[in-house]
């Protein structure tokens, strides 16, 4: 099952853009939306859109397209954004603080219920309403909170040691924002988020654009 979902990763990455668009269509009062309209709006091929949406098992109606309400429900359900996922965040620094304040997560069902840090000035405080605990209390706090997901925003050198604790306390998935390649059991889900990789692509596109404009001037 996990492997099947990984095979569909590029389609899954496009689903939030579809969801955003379809929610907007709903706010505008539309009842149906066609794959072609979605494709036009997002600069994609209609066949790609239909293939992507088919992973949610939604069926369109000939001539009408997809029911907007059903499509929202199907995407949310496929992504499990229609259920609450309780999570903890480890490392309430600059990036951690930004994630704690990111309002969009509420639409994804992601609820960060506690943060952990080593800094005595942060321990005992609240950041965007989320209480910050000492990282030394991870083993006591996590099992009492029914949490299976952790967002990891500690410095990279601290990531593996924290991961070992997270494995011990029954965390099943880590959204890893550090540069560290985590060593985990096969049963654990790890998604590594590298903000620099998107920026790298951006930089190369900017360079190419500049070269084009020099050569045409
Ligand atoms: P700040 O300037 O607030 O420290 P930062 O994002 O620049 O933020 P980093 O060095 O990246 O700082 O650390 C991120 C956060 O992780 C900080 O709040 C830091 O106190 C915390 N931290 C560092 N080591 C650990 C650890 N072993 N366990 C938990 N938190 C840690």
Ordered structural domains, the chain, with CATH: 2-78 (1.10.10.10), 85-196 (3.40.50.720)
Q: What is the pLDDT of residue 4?
A: 54
- The alpha-helical segments, DSSP class H, found in the chain are 2-7, 9-27, 35-42, 46-54, 68-79, 94-100, 138-144, 156-168, 195-216
The predicted model gives 163-175 an average pLDDT of 97
Distance from Cα 91 to the centre of ligand 1, integer Å = 5
The answer for residues whose C-beta is within 8 angstroms of residue 178's C-beta and 6 or more apart is 152, 153, 154, 155, 156, 159
134, 75 Cβ separation under 8 angstroms: no
Distance from Cα 127 to the centre of ligand 1, integer Å = 14
Mean of the per-residue pLDDT values for the chain? Answer: 94
Distance from Cα 159 to the centre of ligand 1, integer Å = 11
Ligand 1: nearest atom to the Cα of 119: 20
Q: What is the pLDDT of residue 23?
A: 96
Residue 5 reports pLDDT greater than 90: no
Distance from Cα 174 to the centre of ligand 1, integer Å = 17
For 129, left (φ over 0), alpha (ψ -120 to 50), or beta? Answer: left
Residue 18 reports pLDDT greater than 70: yes
* Ligand 1 site residues, Cβ closer than 6 angstroms: 90-96, 116-119, 122, 135, 154-155, 158, 162
> For residue range 95-152, what is the model confidence (pLDDT) as tens digits?
999 999 999 999 999 999 999 999 999 999 999 999 999 999 999 999 999 899 999 9
Beta bridge partners of 106: none
Total residue count of the chain as it appears in this document: 217
182, 174 Cβ separation under 8 angstroms: yes
The predicted model gives 65-86 an average pLDDT of 96
Q: What is the pLDDT of residue 62?
A: 86
Query: How many angstroms separate the CA atoms of 36 and 53, rounded?
Result: 12
Residue nearest to atom 1 of ligand 1 (CA): 93
Residue nearest to atom 17 of ligand 1 (CA): 93
| pTM listed for this prediction | 0.90
> For residue range 174-192, what is the model confidence (pLDDT) as tens digits?
999 999 999 999 999 999 9
Query: How many angstroms separate the CA atoms of 169 and 142, rounded?
Result: 7
């Amino acid at each position: 099952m996990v492997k099947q979902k990984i095979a569909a990763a590029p389609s899954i990455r496009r689903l939030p853009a579809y969801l955003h668009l379809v929610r907007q269509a709903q706010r505008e009062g539309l009842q149906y939306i066609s794959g072609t309209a979605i494709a036009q709006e997002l600069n994609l091929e209609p066949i790609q859109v239909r293939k992507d949406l088919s992973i949610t098992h939604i069926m369109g109606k000939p001539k009408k397209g997809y029911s907007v309400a059903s499509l929202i429900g199907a995407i949310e359900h496929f992504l499990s954004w229609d259920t609450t996922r309780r999570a903890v965040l480890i490392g309430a620094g600059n990036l951690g603080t930004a994630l704690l304040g990111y309002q969009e997560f509420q639409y994804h069902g992601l609820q960060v219920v506690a943060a952990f840090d080593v800094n005595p000035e942060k321990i005992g405080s609240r950041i965007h309403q989320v209480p910050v605990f000492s990282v030394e209390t991870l083993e006591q706090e996590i099992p009492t909170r029914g949490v299976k997901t952790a967002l990891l925003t500690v410095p990279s050198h601290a990531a593996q040691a924290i991961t070992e604790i997270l494995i011990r306390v029954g965390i099943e998935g880590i959204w890893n924002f550090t540069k560290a390649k985590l060593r985990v059991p096969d049963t654990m889900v790890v998604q590594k988020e590298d903000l620099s990789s998107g920026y790298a692509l951006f930089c190369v596109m900017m360079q190419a654009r500049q070269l084009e404009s020099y050569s045409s001037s």
